Amino acid sequence: MRIAVLIPCYNEELTIGKVIADFRRELPDADIYVYDNNSRDRTADIARAAGAIVRREFRQGKGNVVRSMFRDIDADIYVMIDGDDTYPAEFVHDLIQPVAAGEADMSIGDRHSDGSYSSENKRPFHNFGNQFVKALINRLFRSQLRDIMTGYRVFNRRFAKTMPIQSEGFEIETEMTLHALDKRFRIIEIPIRYRDRPPGSESKLNTVSDGIRVLKTVFWIFKDYKPLAFFGTVALLFFIAGLAVGIPVITEFFASGRIAKMPSAILAVGLMVLATNSLTCGFILDTIVRNHRDNYELLQNEFKD
């Protein structure tokens, strides 16, 4: 099998050499690709000297890098890993095994099962954000995943070549997980150890801005993938608001035979119309999404590994 190790990088000169050496030791026959995303340090030079295939991605953002990787690189197995040396290379065999055996389309390096992420990661809001997004996605998609946002993943060719990537930044991991859940790809989680960045290596993540981007991604994908549930919820909110405004008007009408609160009556009717329109949009878009899923399944049937 052709194995490609994909390493998106931005200013990782302190760690990229070790990451490449570790994966070269574990996977001596694999092709190791480093996509430099406009680094201002010696990341590209060090990666090239370590024997990696170095390419440039000028559009800033991890999502843009992964999109180019999936388009440009042909392999049977894709290993995606960060260049910050937070994921031990020795676990790569455990992640590759179920994908290579045809038991999974994507395997995920689960950082949470052994507690290493909570103990090693020194950013408490990141831990909270991970848990919140995980609970939200598991609720929306009725799944039981333990690590939604890990950067240590292995894919087969089918997944890599048929996934439409919309994200530009660090929300790409969330998008991958949501896409796999919605399209019923087989996912297996493999417990791994996580270690924090070595001294001198700085994270590019921003808890607030990246957290907002991830939540926006979950919101839009929920709307696009489950429109009936989304617009049904919106319709329910409008319906409740319409009842709250309209019940006093109806009560007054039955008591006196006339309507004195005309503005409230107009508002209540407007809210009920919005509720009806939202529910109608939900049914129409749900039919479109179902047709899209059918077409995607047909595409999968025609895909040649």
Q: What is the CATH number of the domain that holds 143?
A: 3.90.550.10
24-57 pLDDT tens trace: 999 999 999 999 999 999 999 999 999 999 999 9
Query: What is d(CA 132, CA 91) in angstroms, rounded to the nearest whole number?
Result: 26
At residue 282's C-alpha, the angle toward residues 278 and 283, to 5°, is 120
Strands 77-80 and 3-9, by their bridges, are: parallel
Could you tell me if 76 and 110 lie in one domain?
A: yes
Quote the number of domains for the chain: 2
Q: Which domain holds residue 175?
A: 3-223
Whether residues 88 and 199 fall in one domain: yes
Say if residue 184 is in the same domain as residue 245: no
| Buried/exposed 161-172: b ≥16 CB within 10 Å, e otherwise | bbbebebbbbbb
Q: Which of 223, 245, 277 is the last residue of a domain?
A: 223
Task: Find how far residue 104's CA is from the centre of its chain.
Answer: 18
247 shares a domain with 120? no
Same domain (yes/no): 175, 67: yes
Tell me if residue 279 falls in helix, strand or coil.
Answer: helix
| CA atoms of 113 and 186, how far apart (whole Å) | 20
Continuous segment of H or E residues that includes residue 78: strand 77-80
Same domain, yes or no: 149 and 296: no
- pTM strictly above 0.75: yes
Whether residues 148 and 263 fall in one domain: no
pLDDT of 121 above 60: no
Q: What confidence score (pLDDT) does residue 206 get?
A: 60
Segment 190-210 shows an average pLDDT of 71
| Statement to judge: residues 31 and 148 lie in one domain | yes
DSSP state of 198: P
- Across the chain, what does the average pLDDT equal? 88
